[in-house]
Amino acid sequence: MRVVWGAATHVGMLRQQNEDAYTAHDDLFVVADGMGGHNAGEVASALAIDVMKQAALAGFSSQESVVAGVNAANAAIHAASGGQSDQRGMGTTLAAVIPLPASATEPQRMVVTNVGDSRVYLWRAGELKQVSVDHSYVQELVSEGLVTPEEARVHPRRNIVTRALGIEGDVNADAWVVPMIVGDRYVVCSDGLV
């Protein structure tokens, strides 16, 4: 199946430094959003992208292998975070779409994964749906029925993430396998886009 893609990043209107990093290739689409307010967010996001690229070179063959790549990125950031005082506590969110090869028993499909509030959307058959689920304080409130999605968008604590790469020794990445259909369009983005 032919893949057409584009990619861009911008510092935005509020910050002086862009702490986002990304990679986009036919077999790997990843966005990492370094955590502002923490040390070295730009280092964490770049390291996450580098580790995911290395994992892609080894080959992603399953949902589990993609999650293993995310776990390797977490371990690398967490280890680097302890080495230098200016990098202590660094972290990043991550969202990715990774095509898996077709096999004799399975058609080609995509693995969608995320940690934090970076997102993956799928445009299919004229409808845009968010595939990923934010790991954030306000998403927990929405899931518990304590606030509406509309209230969450303006909540004063809407930027607090509950999971990120590099903060803890272990991380729980969510991942979904999505069948690939001709005409699908994915958007992999940081929370700055939404």
The predicted pLDDT at position 82 comes to: 78
Residue 44 lies in a domain: yes
CB 175 within 8 A of CB 111: yes
The predicted pLDDT at position 13 comes to: 60
CB 104 within 8 A of CB 171: no
Number of neighbours of residue 118 by Cβ within 10 angstroms:
30
Q: Is 24 exposed, middle or buried (0-12, 13-18, 19+ CB in 10 A)?
A: middle
Residue 2 lies in a domain: no
The predicted pLDDT at position 69 comes to: 97
Residue 69 lies in a domain: yes
Q: Kindly report the pTM of this predicted structure.
A: 0.89
Per-residue pLDDT of the chain (194 residues; tens, 9 = 90+): 667 777 767 666 666 677 789 899 888 999 999 986 667 888 899 999 999 999 999 999 999 999 999 999 999 999 988 767 677 778 999 999 999 988 888 888 999 999 999 999 999 999 999 999 999 999 999 999 999 989 998 998 988 999 999 999 999 999 999 999 999 999 999 877 66
Our count of domains for the chain comes to: 1
Residue 11 lies in a domain: no
Residue 103 lies in a domain: yes
Residue 61 lies in a domain: yes
Residue 6 lies in a domain: no
The predicted pLDDT at position 45 comes to: 94
Beta strand 109-115 with 20-25: parallel, antiparallel or unpaired? unpaired
The CATH number linked to 109 is 3.60.40.10
Q: What does the block give as tokens for 11? A: 């510092």
Could you tell me the residue range of the domain that residue 165 belongs to? 20-189
Residue of 140, 151, 147, 150 whose CA lies nearest to 117: 140
Residue 184 lies in a domain: yes
CB 29 within 8 A of CB 94: no
